[in-house]
C-alpha cells in the first residue's frame, strides 16, 4: 500500500493535504482494504448459524471512572464456536470498546478504530476528544450498514474517561445501533443477546459511588445472570479457568483486571450463589 512501482517511492496521495481520518484516507485511495465496505452479492445473506457471534458485554460508571466487561463465549448457531473470545479492547489510553455481533468484522473494526485514533493524534498533535471518538466510531458502524442488512451486524459499546466532565461523571458510556445511531447512557448499559438479563441485574445492583471491587462484582453478577438465561452467553468456567474480562478506565488510564483478581472475584460470586442462586437483592 505504501509503495509504488517507481523505485519504492511513496505515492502522491501521501503528500496531498487531506483529512486526519485514516478510514477516509483508505476510502479514497484503497477502499478494498476496508472490511466495513465489503458487501455480499445482491440477493445474498449470511447463513444463520454459520458465522461466529459474540454475545454479552456491559459497562457501568463507578466512583473512579468507568468499568467495561464481557463474557468469553462466541456461538455459531447452536454450537459454541469459542470459549475464550476477548470482546473488550483498549482503543487508546483512556478509551475502551467492547462488541457483540459478528466476530470477524468486529475484530477488524476494533483494530481499524485503534489505528484511526492513533492516526488522528499523530496528524493533529492532540488526542481526539471523547465526543469526537464516539462520533468517529458511529461513522465506522455506518460504513458497515450494507453488511449489517445482510446479517453481519456489529454492535459496539464504547467507554471512556473524560477529564473535562464534572467530578463523578467522568466515566462515560456510549451505545450504538446497527445504522450508526449514537446514544450516551447514564449509569450502566449492556449489549448482546444476554443484555436484557444483564440490564435487569444491573438495575438492582447499581448505585452511584460504587468502588472498584463493588463495581466489578456487580458486573460479574450481571454476566452470571445473563448466562443463566441466555445460552449464547458464557458464565465463569471454573474447570477451564476461563473468566469474564473486566477492565476499568480512570484518570490513570486503561487497566485490565489481572487474571488472578478476576478469578478471585468470580469464585467469590459463584460461592455466594450457592446459598442465593438468583443473586443478591437490590441494595436499599
Positions marked active-site = 55
Cβ–Cβ < 8 Å for 60, 188: yes
Q: How far apart are CA 237 and CA 84, in angstroms?
A: 10
Go through the chain and tell me how many residues it has. 284
Q: How far apart are CA 108 and CA 192, in angstroms?
A: 18
Q: List the one residue out of 151, 173, 162 whose CA is nearest residue 104.
A: 151
Amino acid at each position: 500500500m505504501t509503495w509504488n512501482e517507481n523505485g519504492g517511492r511513496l505515492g502522491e496521495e501521501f503528500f496531498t493535504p487531506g483529512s486526519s481520518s485514516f478510514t477516509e484516507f483508505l476510502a479514497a485511495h484503497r477502499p478494498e482494504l476496508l472490511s466495513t465496505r465489503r458487501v455480499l452479492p445482491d440477493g445474498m445473506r449470511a447463513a444463520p448459524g454459520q458465522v461466529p457471534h459474540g454475545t454479552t458485554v456491559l459497562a457501568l460508571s463507578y466512583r473512579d471512572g468507568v468499568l467495561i466487561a464481557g463474557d468469553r463465549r462466541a456461538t455459531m448457531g447452536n454450537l459454541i464456536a469459542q470459549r475464550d473470545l476477548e470482546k473488550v479492547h483498549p482503543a487508546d489510553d483512556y478509551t475502551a470498546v467492547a462488541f457483540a455481533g459478528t466476530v470477524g468484522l468486529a475484530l477488524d473494526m476494533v483494530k481499524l478504530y485503534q489505528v484511526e485514533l492513533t492516526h488522528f493524534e499523530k496528524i493533529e498533535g492532540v488526542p481526539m476528544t471523547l465526543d469526537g471518538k464516539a462520533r468517529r466510531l458511529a461513522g465506522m458502524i455506518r460504513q458497515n450498514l450494507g453488511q449489517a442488512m445482510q446479517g453481519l451486524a456489529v454492535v459496539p459499546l464504547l467507554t471512556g474517561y473524560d477529564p473535562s466532565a464534572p467530578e463523578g461523571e467522568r466515566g462515560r458510556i456510549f451505545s450504538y445501533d446497527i445504522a450508526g445511531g449514537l446514544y450516551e447512557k447514564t449509569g450502566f448499559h449492556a449489549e448482546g443477546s444476554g443484555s436484557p438479563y444483564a440490564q435487569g441485574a444491573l438495575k438492582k445492583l447499581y448505585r452511584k459511588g460504587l468502588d472498584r471491587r463493588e463495581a466489578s462484582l456487580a458486573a460479574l453478577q450481571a454476566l452470571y445472570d445473563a448466562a443463566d438465561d441466555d445460552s449464547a452467553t458464557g458464565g465463569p468456567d471454573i474447570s477451564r479457568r476461563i473468566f469474564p474480562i473486566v477492565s476499568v478506565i480512570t484518570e490513570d488510564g486503561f487497566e485490565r483486571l489481572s487474571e488472578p483478581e478476576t478469578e478471585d472475584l468470580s469464585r467469590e460470586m459463584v460461592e455466594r450463589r450457592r446459598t442465593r442462586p438468583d443473586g443478591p437483592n437490590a441494595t436499599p
